[in-house]
Amino acid sequence: MAVTLKTVVLDSEKCIGCITCMRRCPTEAIRIVNGKAKILYEKCINCGECVRSCKGGAKRPVYDSFDLVKSYPYKIALPSPSLFGQFNNLDDPNYVIEGLLALGFDDVFEVGLAAELVTDCTKKLMRKNTLERPVISSACPAIAELIFLRYHELKDHLLNLYAPAKIAAKLAKKQAIEQGVPADDIGIFFISPCPAKVYSLHREEVSNEKYISGVLSQSDVYFRLVEKMNKIKNPRKLLRCGYSGLGWGSSGGESNSLGLGNYIHCSGARNVQGILAEMSDGKLDGADFVELNMCPGGCVGGVLNVENPFIARNRMRQLAEKLKIPPATMEQFGLDESFFLWDKAPEPSTSFQLDTDRFAAMQKLMKVEEYLKKLPGIDCGACGAPTCRTHAEDVVKSGGVLDCVKLREVK
Amino acid sequence: MDCIRLEYDVDGENFASAGNASESVKRTLKQLGIPPASVRRVAIAMYEGEINMVIHAHGGKAVAEIYPDRIDITLKDTGPGIADIGLAMKAGWSTASENIRSLGFGAGMGLPNMKKYSDEMDIDSVVGVGTTVFLRIRF
C-alpha cells in the first residue's frame, strides 16, 4: 500500500504564489514562501479547502492509483453514498453496483450500509446515556482533526466510533474470509469523495490492523465507471442500503437517521467553526447531537466529486426516496458495539500552542502582542502569512524578524 | 513573571459581535496550552459576562489578565447598575425585556453561571453609575 501522510501536495510550476488558498485555509496552515504556497502539515486537517480554492489547479489531492486494484486477486469496492449522486439521469442505484462489478471488482460493500449500522450503534450508545451531550459526529475526519487541533475542550463530545468507510472495510473483509477467500488475496478499496478520508483511512491503517488496501478518488473512478454503466441493461437488485444510508452523503443525513428531535447539522468550514465556538461557550448544552461536515453540503461537497454538491444532493434524495429497504441493524450482522468502537482515542495535537511549556508560551505570547502593536493589522498577506497575528506568531516561534511591507513604507 | 493583559471594547449595539472578547481569550488560552477544562470554564463565564454587558448596559470594557496559574477578568460598564445583587444572583431572576428573551437570552442564568464556573467572583455596582464584575479562574 502506498502509505502517505500528505493528502495535498503542491505542483510548484502551477503555483503563482497568489494568496487565495492561504486566506481560505481554515486552520491557517498555509504560508507563501519564496513565491510558492507551502502547507504546514502539522496544522493541516486535510479538508481540501485549498484544492477547492486554487484557481490554477496547483493544489493536488493525493490518492492511490487505480492500477493498484489489479494487484489483488479478490477486489472489493467500497462506494460512498455521495458516489450515487454523481450521475445524470440515474434512476436506479443498482447501475452503480453493476458498473463497479463490470470494472473488475469481485464484490461491492456499500459504505451506506455500514453507515446504517453506525447509526444503529450510535442510537444504542445514546440510549445508554454514557456519552457527553451534545454528541459530535465523528464521521467527517476533517472535523475530528479540527477538534484535536483546536478544540480540545470538546474532544470528549466526539462520538468514539469508526466512520462508516472503516466499518465497511472491516465487514467486507470479514465476509470475504467467511466465503473462503484467503486473507492475503483480498484488496479493499474505498472510493473517496475527499482527501480527509484518504488521509484518515491510511493513517488508521498504519497503526491498526490492515483493512483498507487503497483509497481511490471518486472523480478518478467516475469516468471509468460511466463507461461501464452505459453498457448495462436491466441491473440486478444488488443494492443493500436504503434511504437512511444513502442520506449520509449529504449534511443532515446522519442526524436525520438517528430520529432525534434536538440536533444541529451544519456544513462548510466557516459555519462549523462558528458552531464549535458556540459549543465551547456552553450555548448548545440542550442539544443531543451535532453533525458537522467540513465540506459545503456534506460529503457531496468533497473536492474529489464530479458534480455540484447541491445537484448531487437533489439526485440522491430522489434515488433514496424510492428505496424500500429498511435500515440495517447490528443484530442482522451479528455485531456488538466493540466492532464499532475506536481501539484508542486519537491524541490531541499541540501544534496550535506557541510552546508546550506554559511559561515559555507566555513569554512568546507577550512578544506576539508586542509585535502586533507594530504591525498594521490589515491582514494583507504580503508577508506570506494569512494575518498579522500569524506573522507575529511565526516570527516569535522561528526567532526571525518582522517582514512587513507597511513597516518598510514607514521607514 | 508579568501578566499578559488583553483589553476589549464590548459593543453594546451588536448581538452578533457579542462573544468576540471571550472568543479571543479562548484562543489565547489554547495557544498557551491551558487545560481544556479550564478553557471551557473561562469561555462560559466570560461569555455570560460579555452578553450581560450587551443586554443590560450598552456594552463596556473587558480586561483579561493571564498569569501562569490563573486568569483575572474585569468587566466594567456604565449601565443602569444592579439594584439588588442578591436577587440578581438567584437562578432564573432576570430584568431582561421580552425582546431580549425572544432572542434566547435573559433566562436569569448569567450571574449564577459566572459564579458557578469561576473560583472567585466580585460584583461592584451602583445604580445609575455602572457595574464592575471581577472573575478569577484558576487553571
Domain residue ranges in chain B: 4-138
Backbone φ and ψ for A244, nearest 5 degrees, come out as -65, -45
- Structure-model confidence comparison of residues B8 and A411, the more confident one: B8
CATH fold of B4-138 reads Heat Shock Protein 90 (3.30.565)
User: Residue B1 has what pLDDT?
Assistant: 61
Residues of B within 8 A of A283 (CB-CB) are 47
Angstrom distance (rounded) from CA B99 to CA B55: 10
Average pLDDT over residues A302-316: 96
Residues belonging to chain A with any Cβ–Cβ distance to chain B shorter than 8 Å: 150, 152-153, 155, 277, 280-283, 350, 352-359, 361-362, 365-366, 369, 393
Q: Which of B26, B32, B44 sits opposite A353 (nearest CB)?
A: B32
pLDDT at A358 > cutoff 50: yes
Q: Which of A277, A359, A361 sits opposite B31 (nearest CB)?
A: A361
pLDDT at A2 > cutoff 90: no
pLDDT at A272 > cutoff 80: yes
pLDDT at A405 > cutoff 50: yes
**What percent of chain A clears pLDDT 70, i.e. is strictly above it?**
97
- Band of the pLDDT at A16, cuts 50, 70, 90? very high
pLDDT at B84 > cutoff 90: no
* Average pLDDT value for chain B: 89
pLDDT at B103 > cutoff 70: no
- Band of the pLDDT at B109, cuts 50, 70, 90? confident
pLDDT tens-place string over residues A127-179: 998 889 999 999 999 999 999 999 999 999 999 999 999 999 999 999 999 99
Report the run of H or E that residue B66 belongs to, with start and end: strand B59-67
Angstrom distances, CA of residue B73 to CA of A361, B15, B19, B33, B48: 20, 21, 14, 19, 12
**What percent of chain A clears pLDDT 90, i.e. is strictly above it?**
89
**A379 burial type by CB count under 10 A (0-12 exposed, 13-18 middle, 19+ buried):** middle
* H, E, C per residue of chain A: CCCCCCCEEECCCCCCCCCHHHHHCCCCCEEEECCEEEECHHHCCCCCHHHHHCCCCCEEECCCCCHHHHCCCEEEEEECHHHHHCCCCCCCCHHHHHHHHHCCCCEECCHHHHHHHHHHHHHHHHHHCCCCCCEECCCCHHHHHHHHHHCHHHHHHECCECCHHHHHHHHHHHHHHHCCCCHHHEEEEEEECCHHHHHHHHHHHHHCCCCCCEEEEHHHHHHHHHHHHCCCCCCCCCCCCCHHHHHCCCCCHHHHHHCCCCEEEEECHHHHHHHHHHHHCCCCCCCCEEEEECCCCCHHHCCCCCCCHHHHHHHHHHHHHHCCCCCCCCCCCCCCHHHCECCCCCCCCCCCCCCCCHHHHHHHHHHHHHHHHHCCCCCCCCCCCCCHHHHHHHHHHHCCCCCCHHHHHHC
* Average pLDDT value for chain A: 94
pLDDT at B98 > cutoff 90: no
pLDDT tens-place string over residues B19-58: 889 999 999 999 999 999 999 999 999 999 998 898 888 8
Quote the minimal CA–CA distance from B129 to chain A in Å: 29
Average pLDDT over residues B112-127: 94
DSSP states of B97-131: -HHHHHTT--SS-HHHHHHHH-SEEEEEEETTTEE
Residue A153 and residue B39: Cβ atoms within 8 Å? yes
pLDDT at A34 > cutoff 60: yes
Q: Which of B1, B23, B43 sits opposite A362 (nearest CB)?
A: B1
- Band of the pLDDT at A4, cuts 50, 70, 90? very low
User: Residue A386 has what pLDDT?
Assistant: 98
Q: How many CB atoms lie within 10 A of CB B98?
A: 7
User: C-alpha grid cell for residue B128?
Assistant: 445609575
How many residues are recorded in chain A?
Answer: 411
Residues of A within 8 A of B47 (CB-CB) are 281-283
Q: What are the residues facing A403 on neighbouring strands?
A: none
Residue A350 and residue B66: Cβ atoms within 8 Å? no
User: C-alpha grid cell for residue A133?
Assistant: 451531550
Angstrom distance (rounded) from CA A57 to CA A256: 36
Angstrom distance (rounded) from CA A246 to CA A3: 29
Residue B37 and residue A153: Cβ atoms within 8 Å? yes
Do B133 and B121 touch, CB atoms closer than 8 A?
yes
Angstrom distance (rounded) from CA A288 to CA A265: 11
User: C-alpha grid cell for residue A302?
Assistant: 468533497
User: What is the β-pairing status of strands B70-77 and B120-126?
Assistant: unpaired
Mutate to test the interface with B, among A153, A368, A394 (most CBs of B within 10 A): A153
pLDDT at B96 > cutoff 80: no
User: C-alpha grid cell for residue B9?
Assistant: 471594547
pLDDT tens-place string over residues A371-395: 999 999 999 999 999 999 999 999 9
Query: Angle at CA B94, nearest 5°, toward B92 and B95?
Result: 165
Residue A355 and residue B47: Cβ atoms within 8 Å? no
Average pLDDT over residues A218-238: 96
Q: What are the residues facing B65 on neighbouring strands?
A: B5, B72
Average pLDDT over residues A79-101: 96
User: C-alpha grid cell for residue A136?
Assistant: 459530535
Q: What ipTM did this prediction achieve?
A: 0.84
- Band of the pLDDT at A17, cuts 50, 70, 90? very high
User: Residue A3 has what pLDDT?
Assistant: 40
User: Residue A1 has what pLDDT?
Assistant: 34
B19 Rama class: left (phi>0) / alpha (psi -120 to 50) / beta: left
Do A101 and A236 touch, CB atoms closer than 8 A?
no
Backbone φ and ψ for B13, nearest 5 degrees, come out as -95, -5
**What percent of chain B clears pLDDT 70, i.e. is strictly above it?**
95
Q: Which of B32, B36, B47 sits opposite A152 (nearest CB)?
A: B36
Residue A165's closest CA among A239, A88, A225, A113?
A113
Residue A27's closest CA among B8, B30, B64?
B30
Residue B112, preceding peptide bond in cis (omega within 30° of 0): no
Residues of A within 8 A of B37 (CB-CB) are 153
The one-character DSSP state at B71 is E
pLDDT tens-place string over residues A165-215: 999 999 999 999 999 999 999 999 999 999 999 988 888 776 667 899 999
Residue A280 and residue B28: Cβ atoms within 8 Å? no
**What percent of chain B clears pLDDT 90, i.e. is strictly above it?**
58
The one-character DSSP state at B79 is S
